[in-house]
Amino acid sequence: MKTIQHWINGSPTPGSAADSQPVFNPATGAEQAQVVLGGATDVDAAVAAASAAFETWSESSLTQRTQVMFNFRQLLVEHEEELGRIISAEHGKTVDDARGEITRGREVVEYACGLGDVLKGSFSDQVSRGVDVHNFRQPLGVVAGITPFNFPAMVPLWMHPIAIATGNTFILKPSERDPSAANFVADLYRQAGLPDGVFNVVHGGKNAVDAILTHPGIQAVSFVGSTPIAKYVHEQATSHGKRVQALGGAKNHAVVLPDADLEFAANHITAGAYGSAGERCMAVSVAVAVGSAADALVKVLERKAREVKVGPGNQPGTDMGPLVTKTAQERIENAVGVAATQGATIVVDGRGLKIDGHEEGFFTGPSLLDHVTTAMDAYKEELFGPVLAIIRTDTLDQAIDLINANPYGNGTALFTASGEAARRFQRNIHVGMIGINVPVPVPMSYYSFGGWKDSLIGDNPIHGPEGIRFYTRPKVVTTRWPQQTHNITAGFNFPTSS
């Protein structure tokens, strides 16, 4: 049985090793490893290593830091298949999906490779007689990331490349459900030439999280997860004087107008709803069918849902793998049953799915629910599984009002052939990331990722320009160099105090 250890100061370590928990293969239901669960002692050790490394790393040249990022980026390319299979084996998503998340994470590394231009300050000449002003940004110190199970490579890659490239040192607390990707990435950093202590991994649960949130040696915390935990992280970390990025949950709507290409829309909504088994904060969980689009859209979505091939993530041709845990499987199947009792029509029922040879795996099939209302649990809750709810409205404006009334505001999409409708939608919707005929509008790395309302706690989105600002602080320098009005000559006499 493999034991997954912390990574501190450049190598694996068991740390305090006070406790551990199993890591499962979701496709088989079998335990495949044990991960150590750290606490305050292990966080202290990681902070000590990161603090010592910061003294030299923060003074390294921008060229040295970006060269490490170039090396790291190349290693991610070379080891993409291996890392993808590690993710698939612990998370359950398909290997293709895992490779996709690595690619999206690698884009942030590429952004970090170009920080030489992004970090340029500004200079103002002669703001007053003989006075100039310039500014620049410096790193914070030791920073930390607390990341979820659903993207064990991509979400951390949205954080640490920018933090490290700007001169900080980093401590990652990944999900204990699929922890191996974090250690694999740590070793790639080592191969890329990153000095020991600049990137560290502490595994654990709430004890490790609380130690990070309250540790005086950590200057900033980045978090992605559920909204209740995001609020807790924001409250605890800010009360201890830290900067915080806290990204929470979502309920993402895709609106389909009667003028949309229904085959095109259904293809993309199906992928957005059931890809990665719906376990992503940008998953499409609600399709809003407007007017006469409704009945025809339901028929196409039903056909597409039944075509989704469910199986082990490492099996070629699989579209959707299992859920991450048995508990998640039971929660999703229970939610489908509750929806039926509350009046929803189950068009496609994914419950009770068994895969030959993997009968103990955490599988459930795609579920499609029609005639859902905003009062139903299937609409109000972030299910985080392969369940697509259909709500019907008469007009686009009603759809906009419905989405704006939802407490979440992470992502949304509109499928239409009308430029006027698209412009009205994107201007009036209260959501941070919008797709027009794009179901999962995750922005590129040189833009920032973050929603509105309960999907972003505080004011700090992640990666892109906002990420640069989050991991650095500015200095403004005002200078005057008065002209010398007398000559200073060397003296040969013994100096005196006069």
Q: What is the pLDDT of residues 442-475, one digit of tens each?
A: 999 999 999 999 999 999 999 999 999 999 999 9
User: Which residues is 7 bridged to in the sheet?
Assistant: 12, 201
Q: List the beta strands (DSSP E) in 252-324.
A: 252-256, 284-290
pLDDT at 491: 67
- Tell which wins on pLDDT, 391 or 117: 391
Give dist(CA 313, CA 324) in Å, integer: 11
| pLDDT at residue 17, as a whole number | 78
Long-range CB contact pairs, 191-196, < 8 A, 24+: 191/71, 191/75, 192/68, 192/69, 192/71, 192/72, 192/75, 193/67, 193/68, 193/71, 194/68, 194/72, 194/164, 195/10, 195/53, 195/56, 195/57, 196/9, 196/10, 196/11, 196/49, 196/53
- Beta bridge mates, 256: 289, 415
Residue 62 confidence (pLDDT): 95
**What band does 234 get if pLDDT is binned at 50, 70 and 90?**
very high
pLDDT at 484: 79
What's the CA gap between 189 and 181, in Å, rounded? 12
498 pLDDT above the threshold of 80: no
Give 235-245 pLDDT, tens digit per residue: 999 999 999 99
* Residue % of the chain over a pLDDT of 90: 95
Average of pLDDT values for 469-497? Answer: 82
Does the pLDDT of residue 490 top 70, yes or no? no
Kindly tell me if the per-residue pLDDT of 220 is higher than 70: yes
The pLDDT score that the predictor gives to residue 96 is 97
Mean pLDDT, residues 468-485: 94
What's the pLDDT score for residue 487? Answer: 66
Q: Where are the beta strands (DSSP E) in 123-269?
A: 123-128, 131-139, 142-146, 169-173, 199-201, 220-224, 243-247, 252-256
List pLDDT tens digits, range 407-430.
Answer: 999 999 999 999 999 999 999 999
Total residues belonging to the chain: 498
Mean predicted confidence (pLDDT) in 140-145: 98
Residue 1 pLDDT > 90, yes or no? no
Give the span between the Cα atoms of 418 and 421, in whole angstroms: 5
Q: Is the pLDDT of residue 497 over 60?
A: no
Q: Which residues are catalytic?
A: 281
76 has pLDDT over 80: yes
Dist CA 180 CA 202 (whole Å): 12
CA dist., res. 27 & res. 152, Å (int):
17
- Residue range 176-190, pLDDT digits in tens: 999 999 999 999 999
Q: What is the mean pLDDT of the chain?
A: 96
Query: What's 343's DSSP letter?
Result: T
Segment 62-66 shows an average pLDDT of 96
Give residues with Cβ within 8 angstroms of 17, minimum separation 6: 36
